[in-house]
Structure 1
């Protein structure tokens, strides 16, 4: 972006060039630059470095002096270690998000060399993501980290999140993964690719657990394996299961009691496994529940789950509501936030909710907030949403869609209609997925099911 100028006039009539770029204060530009790489969620930072070029000197100076912009130290299939050193020098005293990925080809570059570069900044590590496909390399890296923490206890970071990608299921994986977890004591643990070994203990430190893209891959983990893991997570406050096992039996008729669980997200994967999880999980403190899967085939276990937790649930986000499944609202007397997420059939769900309100003896809908995050929404869906706003005591509304439903004049008119009646927190169209970790790239990489398994030819 080149420097933008505009021509104006002063009292004596002489033209003056005004630098429009400099009208934005540095603190505002810093916030803009930070918002671009992080998307809509503070939890995510890009896996590739940000390269800033062809901008005016004023903007460039602000970017270079915004330390948080350079706080993601990434090694991803590149021998250019000087880039990481440059990022470290531009983010002094900042908390760091460290991503250690080996090359896609064996022997491409030593991961231990990458670790050596960032180890001096170990106390500043906020998150650590480790590529675990090459166990020899990952064990060497974890050994280096643990050795440094043992030699200098004051160097041990206060990790917000520790992520292992494509962790194997054999016993040899335990040798370093468990000691590393015990040493670093992360607040949150994430496993992407396959299930961790059942011998790993999750109940000691982590309060948040995410299991992404679980497959029947190496070691062929079964649903009973997943059940054993969940039964050991008695201290969890939040749990995310994304693309859980698509096949495999062995789920025992036992309850999985999670007394401290407040947030639970279940997304994609096997309907059979999802039904087993819904029947088994008992979370008396559950506050927020999100489910994004084929709702119609798990109606009964979903209804049972909501009835068991209905008095505690305040937030429900679901991919689709049918007329015959809208009765679930009767089990949620204290619901405050209702969301429709992910589905392209939001209009059908909204229409079903409107029809539900006309049913005899239908329970009144009392939630105060509606959140919609979808791929598409139709004009009919917007009209159904207007009907809901008129019939339910809604206070706030958020609508985000990846495509536009009508021309801009109609969208502005609809937005004005809603703003006259409720607080509109978001009215955004043509938006993209805010967190790539919510996506599944299995269709691009045969045989691999992990949100981090990008094809080598992908443009990021």
Structure 2
């Protein structure tokens, strides 16, 4: 019996040795042939896919000796700090040690901690970060109340101030700041910061590239809003909004701005009712690097002010969503039911969008570079006599290089859809049949996919996935009858009808628009017909 146990132990040791030899073999394990730099990159991709789960980074260092060595020496693998482990936060301390000199991304969530525990928790976190504060490049604070947010941000800024007996400030590498106040109270820093501390606070906030404020705000005159590349404001209360001159100063101080996103967070206008005076007094600011502009759920005059203020000749993506009424500070609606320069409110905003796109290209003498356009929740109407949305048509005419168009909850009309799917026939040699090539894409448009959500009943035929994909329907069973198939009328010279046939009514003129369109997404569109979606 003893001998049998010894044999089993020897067999287990042999298996472990064989496993170790196999894992270290270049022939049996091809992954071992990969360079350390490639393995490091693979580890980083895995951690990003796992949304920086601490366990994922740890597992990379527990596979085999070689992988462990590479993982431990990859400092950027250990730079995401979120204090998700329990006190005394040994795993967080391990990550900080392995991050070495790499720039850190710190995420602090205080939404599940009551106010009485917040201060002790924040102090503990700042003590752990300690000497690493100068390496923090990205800071995200997600708090349940403005008190928690203020405590955390104040504690961080205090760590960046000169300590007693020293003259050097701990200069943070902070480039990205995201502050979230779930309660939406309004301010991330209390107004009672001493005048002595204020210069150090502002110095720490200087040099940011990316700022996101959700339900909270910073002093709008602070250096946090200078030289930004990305600015995202979400859900700001009326009292927390920047005034008109403060917003203009922010745009002027960020000439390198690349992305501007405002969701339920606009500005307080000096004159919210006189749109003509606003246009006359607004001097456009050129933002040559702005490639993405997102305006969602702002009052219509705030939207129009921003569109008049900004020139963006290299804009690639434009999102315009849900213009709302203009509301006074006391809650009364300024423009309830009234027209703006003879147009309903939302149609006037559409007209301003078209002017914005055309004006931004006026100095370049080139067509718009806009590739993606999203328009949502516009209250526009279409009459039975004129089945079109003229202001939407003007917007689409201004974007000939558009690749993706998303329309949601807006009256479109058959004319717009027919123009989007209009095709230009290929010239044929006189005297020869001009049969379309098999499965050939349209000459003027090649929309490859349509995502159609919640299309109303009755169902539309042909299905939207075939919309404007081919110039003609292909009939594999009877190629000789191709000329009898129904095709959409397009703007071209019609041939003289045969004398034995009664002349048909002259087809209406359709102007092709957006010839580069590849993706069309329609959602909650209730005013289209099957004829408009036919190839």
Task: Classify the TM-score, shorter chain.
Answer: 0.5 to 0.7
Matched residue, 1:231: 248
Matched residue, 2:179: 164
Q: Is the alpha carbon distance of 1:197 and 1:382 closer, same or farther for their aligned partners in structure 2, counting shifts above 3 Å? A: same
Matched residue, 2:136: 125
Matched residue, 2:489: none
- CA offsets, 1:165-200, max 9 Å, x none? 338545824737884343342232423222525553
Matched residue, 1:436: none
2:62 is aligned with 1:35: no
2:131 is aligned with 1:98: no
Cα distance, 1:87 vs structure 2: 0.9
Matched residue, 1:196: 217
Conserved? CA contact 1:265–1:290, under 8 Å: yes
Instruction: Point out the more displaced range, 241-250 or 100-109.
Output: 241-250
1-structure distance, mates of 2:317, 2:264: 16
Conserved? CA contact 1:198–1:229, under 8 Å: no
1-structure distance, mates of 2:374, 2:453: 13
Aligned counterpart for 2:261 among listed residues 241, 266, 271 = 241
Aligned counterpart for 1:258 among listed residues 264, 274, 285 = 285
Conserved? CA contact 1:240–1:265, under 8 Å: yes
2:28 is aligned with 1:18: yes
- CA offsets, 1:226-254, max 9 Å, x none? 63442121121224224224999866435
Matched residue, 1:281: 309
Conserved? CA contact 1:100–1:115, under 8 Å: no
Instruction: Point out the more displaced range, 134-143 or 192-201.
Output: 192-201
Conserved? CA contact 1:241–1:265, under 8 Å: yes
Conserved? CA contact 2:421–2:467, under 8 Å: no
Matched residue, 2:394: 327
2:228 is aligned with 1:221: no
Kindly report which structure 2 residues correspond to 1:59-208, keeping only aligned pairs within 5 A, or say none: 59-75=67-83, 78-102=86-110, 104-106=112-114, 107-108=117-118, 109-131=120-142, 133=146, 134=148, 135-147=150-162, 151=166, 153=168, 155-166=170-181, 169=186, 172-173=190-191, 175=193, 179-196=200-217, 199-202=220-223, 205-208=226-229
Matched residue, 1:303: 354
Cα distance, 1:73 vs structure 2: 1.8
Q: Is the alpha carbon distance of 1:200 and 1:145 closer, same or farther for their aligned partners in structure 2, counting shifts above 3 Å? A: same
Q: Is the alpha carbon distance of 1:105 and 1:159 closer, same or farther for their aligned partners in structure 2, counting shifts above 3 Å? A: closer
- Bigger Rg, structure 1 or 2: 2
Aligned counterpart for 1:212 among listed residues 233, 241, 247 = 233
Q: Is the alpha carbon distance of 1:316 and 1:178 closer, same or farther for their aligned partners in structure 2, counting shifts above 3 Å? A: farther
- Counterpart secondary structure, 1:319: strand
2-structure distance, mates of 1:169, 1:126: 25
Q: Is the alpha carbon distance of 1:114 and 1:60 closer, same or farther for their aligned partners in structure 2, counting shifts above 3 Å? A: same
Matched residue, 2:331: none
2:300 is aligned with 1:272: yes
- CA offsets, 1:392-419, max 9 Å, x none? 886x98999xxxxxxxxxxxxxxxxxxx
1-structure distance, mates of 2:165, 2:231: 28
Conserved? CA contact 1:191–1:212, under 8 Å: yes
2-structure distance, mates of 1:83, 1:179: 32
Conserved? CA contact 2:207–2:224, under 8 Å: no
2-structure distance, mates of 1:299, 1:73: 45
- Counterpart secondary structure, 2:162: helix
- Counterpart secondary structure, 2:227: coil
Gaps of 5+ in 1: 6-15, 40-44, 401-460
Matched positions, count? 366
Matched residue, 1:425: none
Cα distance, 1:210 vs structure 2: 1.8
Conserved? CA contact 1:201–1:232, under 8 Å: no
Q: Is the alpha carbon distance of 1:315 and 1:147 closer, same or farther for their aligned partners in structure 2, counting shifts above 3 Å? A: farther
Conserved? CA contact 2:111–2:142, under 8 Å: no
Gaps of 5+ in 2: 1-15, 19-25, 273-277, 324-345, 379-387, 425-441, 456-461, 472-512, 522-535
Q: Is the alpha carbon distance of 1:69 and 1:110 closer, same or farther for their aligned partners in structure 2, counting shifts above 3 Å? A: same
1-structure distance, mates of 2:88, 2:448: 43
Matched residue, 1:443: none
Conserved? CA contact 1:230–1:256, under 8 Å: no
1-structure distance, mates of 2:515, 2:213: 41
Cα distance, 1:86 vs structure 2: 1.0
RMSD: 5.2
TM (norm. structure 1) is 0.61
Conserved? CA contact 2:103–2:136, under 8 Å: yes
More strand by share: 1
Q: Is the alpha carbon distance of 1:193 and 1:211 closer, same or farther for their aligned partners in structure 2, counting shifts above 3 Å? A: same
2-structure distance, mates of 1:226, 1:47: 38
Q: Is the alpha carbon distance of 1:246 and 1:230 closer, same or farther for their aligned partners in structure 2, counting shifts above 3 Å? A: closer
TM (norm. structure 2) is 0.53
